[in-house]
Structure 1
Amino acid sequence: MTAPPPLRAADPAGADGAAGPAPLSGRGRALHGAVFAVTALTAVTQFVLTGTGPFDPSSPDPGTIPSMVRFFSFFTIQSTILVAVTSLLLAMGRPLTLGLRVLRVDSLVAIVITAVVHWFLLRPLGTEPGIIGVLDTLLHVVGPALAVLAWILAGPRTAVGAPRGLGLRVTAWALVFPVLFGAWTFLHGAVTHWYPYPFIDVPTVGYGPAVAMALGVLAAFVVLAAGLEGIERAVAQVVSARRARRDGT
């Protein structure tokens, strides 16, 4: 399986189907800059506190390298990093090439799934006290809320001027991330007997329920990614129609 196409300079006419409209407006760039600041600071702080040792001080210490691998194996951490990287690129005014559009969809859908899964499956198990609890809220509530807000205020209009059919390509490439995450989770777990979340902990729940849960998350990813594209395409059509009426064409 190959990686998504690299980011390229925008083609104003969208002739190659990879580049869409111009970069975000000043307001959109500022919004994504704020999202980057919050998510990047949260991820770095979380890593400093828990990334090189056991999350629970009462648990055995697997060692620095295994702890780091485990830290970056959490869907929450990967989602937060995706949001931070994508927000930084958008804040810098990078054009919305196919590659960046894929990253944007992955980051938004992944962080929404992170928030939903945390709220309904993990939060009922209890919350951590102190600074870890604050970071937990930033990772699972504040970060996702800011990412969604930035998309609502600046995202849908980015589809205006994008070539027809681009959304299907973006959605297809966006599925590479969750598929690779699932493959890594089960492969890493089979070797180390460690799984990032209790609902996919194979030694506890078994392969059947764990795989079923992973497929459920993948299905949710597909639905959300397709819904995201549908909303953006609908907004693009409305904006284009208004421009056509205004220009008298």
Structure 2
Amino acid sequence: MLASWIWPVRAVRLLLGGLALLAVGTQFTHEATLPGFSPVNFFSYFTILSNIAVGLLLVALGALPGTRHPRLEWVRAAMVVYMATTGLVYAILLDTGDPGLTLPWVNTVLHRVMPAALFVDWLVIRPQRHLGYGKALAWSGVPVLYLAYSLVRGAVIGWYPYPFLQPVEVGGVAGMLVHILGIAAGIAAASLLVAWLGNVRVQSTQMRAAA
């Protein structure tokens, strides 16, 4: 059984966390040189926020020994869900083959490498305790707050971070609601799946210990 304090695992987490933060920092520096750049807009993308959060989490997990507190495991599981949301929404709704202003390698790191890395981390480093499914659904609260922020701010300033949040881009308010409800259902399903995967591994460990 691998544990979070074994040095190779900690080293990989440090590298991945640093990579996520480097990618966000590089993209910020790149866009800051462009006309009309808005720092607030930059940090209004779920992709940016989720990658900053997961970068900091991985650095903490890699740098600090004994970081397997139940609450931290709950946060780690939540970040798996958020990164899965980032990766899947990009793949299904946003990947047109043209990264736009996003640097190609940054695009790959933020939308592909980090979501996959967090999922593998969750499969390899199993949680120590059972995760309640009700609490797992609470992970949806962060994306809901993000959507509320994006819609309210977009209505005020006329700028939305993603086209599926802008009614004129998706066939009106009905089209926007379909996209939002679909994403919400996907996040809820991902939350339950991540909790189940963790609980199955916890249960198998307990059964082996009992045997």
TM-score range, shorter chain: 0.7 to 0.9
1:111 aligns with 2:83: yes
1:188 aligns with 2:150: no
TM-score (normalised: structure 2): 0.86
Indicate the RMSD between aligned Cα atoms, in angstroms.
2.2
Asked if the contact 2:122/2:198 (under 8 Å) is kept, the reply is: no
TM-score (normalised: structure 1): 0.74
1:96 aligns with 2:69: yes
> Which structure 1 residue ranges, 4+ long, deviate > 3 Å from structure 2?
none
Give the secondary-structure state (helix, strand or coil) at the position aligned to 2:132. Answer: helix
Asked if the contact 1:33/1:88 (under 8 Å) is kept, the reply is: yes
Kindly provide the amino acid, as one letter, of the partner of residue 168 in structure 1: Y
Q: Against the structure 1 CA distance between its residues 125 and 203, is the aligned structure 2 distance closer, same or farther, given a 3 Å change threshold?
A: farther
Match of 1:15 in 2: none
Structure 2, unaligned runs of 5 or more: none
Residue 214 of structure 1, aligned match among 177, 180, 186? 180
Q: Which whole-Å deviations, capped at 9, do the CAs of 1:79-130 have from their partners, x for residues lacking one?
A: 11121122122222323332x234222321111121122222222252348x
Asked if the contact 2:164/2:176 (under 8 Å) is kept, the reply is: yes
Q: Against the structure 1 CA distance between its residues 118 and 172, is the aligned structure 2 distance closer, same or farther, given a 3 Å change threshold?
A: closer
Cα deviation for residue 143 of structure 1 reads: 2.0
CA distance in 1, matches of 2:198, 2:93: 30
CA distance in 2, matches of 1:30, 1:199: 38
CA distance in 2, matches of 1:125, 1:191: 31
Match of 2:19 in 1: 38
CA distance in 2, matches of 1:185, 1:74: 9
Structure 1, unaligned runs of 5 or more: 1-22
If each structure's helix is expressed as a fraction of its own residues, which one has the higher value?
2
How many equivalent pairs are there? Answer: 205
Rg larger in structure: 1
CA distance in 2, matches of 1:85, 1:170: 23
The 5 Å alignment of 1:57-206 reads: 61=36, 67-91=38-62, 92-93=64-65, 94-98=67-71, 100-124=72-96, 126-128=98-100, 132-154=103-125, 157-158=126-127, 160=128, 162=129, 166-168=131-133, 170-205=135-170, 206=172
Cα deviation for residue 169 of structure 1 reads: 5.1
Q: Which whole-Å deviations, capped at 9, do the CAs of 1:7-51 have from their partners, x for residues lacking one?
A: xxxxxxxxxxxxxxxx7231432332222011111111111112x
Kindly provide the amino acid, as one letter, of the partner of residue 136 in structure 2: T
CA distance in 1, matches of 2:119, 2:16: 10
Match of 1:11 in 2: none
